[in-house]
Amino acid sequence: MPSGADDGVTRIALDVHDVDQLFSSFDPSPFHEFSLNSTAAQYIASEAWYAPRRNRFVIALGLRGEAADRRAVAKLRTVLRVHFKRAATTEAQNLRKLIRTGLISLAIGLVVLACCTALSRLVDEAPIRDGWREGIRDGISVFGWVANWRPAQILFYDWWPVRRSRNLYRRLATAEVIAAKPVRRPGETDEGAALDTMPIEATEP
């Protein structure tokens, strides 16, 4: 569940020893920019995943149990926007590729199905023993339908999680970052902040 949710707002709390814990020191892109490390990005996205889809996101940043300073907030805001805009662009590209693959696969599958249907009719007219004829005809028919299994999976099921991820990243790219002292949940000790064990440097997978 998200760290906190009010009417129309989902609050995600981050409490770290140093703001640089949230950033990756290795960026293979030609642009010399910081990016969120994989641990921080996964944590934020997982906290946001189950939030109501109309909610806006607020990232509450704390440092060592106290509200973060303005420099840390401004740095996180910039990096967060760049990271999730890039992630949304990647997911949009993945969605287009997936739909294109599904349509091409569907066209191939329909051609295979048409050929199998025609072939099964030829088998019906062939001078083959009845038992063999039915087995060959059914096998050809099953093969034709199986050829359409993959495009059906893509066009009915596979595309919408990618689309949801794209939309989530677009929303996270516009998230507001504020300085806030972390609010402890019932039963939570001072030693167990959510990201306290994150390494100072982490590379992207």
For the residues 71-86, what does the mean pLDDT come to? Answer: 93
Bigger pLDDT: 152 vs 8: 152
Q: How confident is the model at residue 91 (pLDDT cuts 50, 70, 90)?
A: very high
For the residues 79-108, what does the mean pLDDT come to? Answer: 95
Q: Could you report the per-residue pLDDT of 185-200, keeping only the tens digit for each?
A: 554 444 333 444 333 3
pLDDT at 153 over 60: yes
Phi/psi for 64 (5° steps) reads 55, 40
pLDDT at 192 (0 to 100): 37
Q: What residue segments make up the domains of the chain, in order of their start?
A: 4-179
Q: How confident is the model at residue 74 (pLDDT cuts 50, 70, 90)?
A: very high
Q: Could you report the per-residue pLDDT of 16-37, keeping only the tens digit for each?
A: 998 888 888 655 555 546 688 8
